[in-house]
Amino acid sequence: MKKLISLETALQFINDGDTLLVGGFGLSGTPNTIIAAISTSDKKNLTVVSNNLGEEGKGLGKLLVTGKLKGARGSYFTTNRDAVRAWSNGELEIELIPQGTLAEAIRCGGAGIAGFYTKTAVGTKIAKGKEEKVFDGETYILERAIKGDVAIIKALKADTLGNLIYDKTARNFNPVMATAASIVIVEVDEIVEIGSFSPEEIVTPHVYVDYVVMNRYVKKGGRYVESF
């Protein structure tokens, strides 16, 4: 498979100061192998766009404690006490984005749409400084699209061309993030031959996928755990 690369090669596409779109909801659909590799690399000043920052020592929580993150943009950072502690100590910049707004902003980034108006967060601190507009007597705020330098996502399987399928709810933010970054690196459990997927099964077409790495975690009791 031409798109299959090593973890070491994958890290070469991530630069200091990059914005990374990282798939996952909680720990479901999280590219654990790539995150672990970044956490032991010399990368720094990274900004992560993700629904949350994993859990203490797991998922993005593993990367957080290394001090390599400058900022995080997402919805549910309180699921990780380390994230709350880092923010409280001034060690991490955090931007809270309502979950639906986050998903739509990333979708717009991939679709070439500069932004959109939404009623969500009107009248709250999240709306401070944002443009307001009235439609049909109701106030909306302008949210800008979100794009990344590199998207790091998790899929269940890829075929040898790079078409992707996902594992149920582990799909979450991964497909939309695959459309909104300059470089897309996918972590998969398995690579199969072209033709193994029906057209209806393919969620992310190969044209969005730049590189593929193999998952080094194993699934036990419904959760991925380290195997190395």
159 assigned to some structural domain: yes
Q: What's the mean pLDDT in 135-156?
A: 98
121 assigned to some structural domain: no
Report pLDDT digits (tens) over 151-209. Answer: 999 999 999 999 999 999 999 999 999 999 999 999 999 999 999 999 999 999 999 99
Give me the CATH number covering residue 19: 3.40.1080.10
Domain count of the fold of the chain: 1
Pairing relationship of beta strands 132-135 and 138-144 according to DSSP bridges: antiparallel
Q: Cα separation of 173 and 152, whole Å?
A: 11
Contact (CB, 8 A) for 153 and 23: yes
47 assigned to some structural domain: yes
Q: What's the mean pLDDT in 208-221?
A: 93
106 assigned to some structural domain: yes
Task: Give the confidence band of 225 by pLDDT, cuts at 50, 70, 90.
Answer: confident
Instruction: Give the pLDDT of residue 41.
Output: 97
124 assigned to some structural domain: no
The amino acid at 32: N
Q: pTM for this one?
A: 0.96
List the one residue out of 10, 78, 2, 51 whose CA is nearest residue 215: 10
Where do runs of H (alpha helix) occur along the chain?
7-11, 32-39, 60-64, 81-88, 99-111, 174-177
67: Cβ–Cβ under 8 A, 6 or more apart, which residues? 44, 91
Contact (CB, 8 A) for 58 and 202: no
**Where are the extended beta strands (E) located within the chain?**
19-22, 46-49, 69-74, 93-96, 115-118, 132-135, 138-144, 148-159, 164-165, 181-192, 211-214, 217-220, 223-226
Report pLDDT digits (tens) over 35-89. Answer: 999 999 999 999 999 999 999 999 999 999 999 999 999 999 998 999 999 999 9
Contact (CB, 8 A) for 38 and 63: yes
Q: Which two tokens stand for residue 65?
A: 């404690």
22 assigned to some structural domain: yes
72 assigned to some structural domain: yes
Instruction: Give the pLDDT of residue 150.
Output: 98
Q: Cα separation of 185 and 211, whole Å?
A: 5
Task: Give the confidence band of 221 by pLDDT, cuts at 50, 70, 90.
Answer: confident
131 assigned to some structural domain: no
Task: Give the confidence band of 228 by pLDDT, cuts at 50, 70, 90.
Answer: low
Is it the case that residue 219 has pLDDT exceeding 90?
no
Q: Cα separation of 205 and 65, whole Å?
A: 34
Instruction: Give the pLDDT of residue 1.
Output: 85
Q: What percent of the chain has pLDDT over 90?
A: 93
Instruction: Give the pLDDT of residue 92.
Output: 97
Which structural domain, as residue segments, surrounds residue 109?
Answer: 7-114+145-222
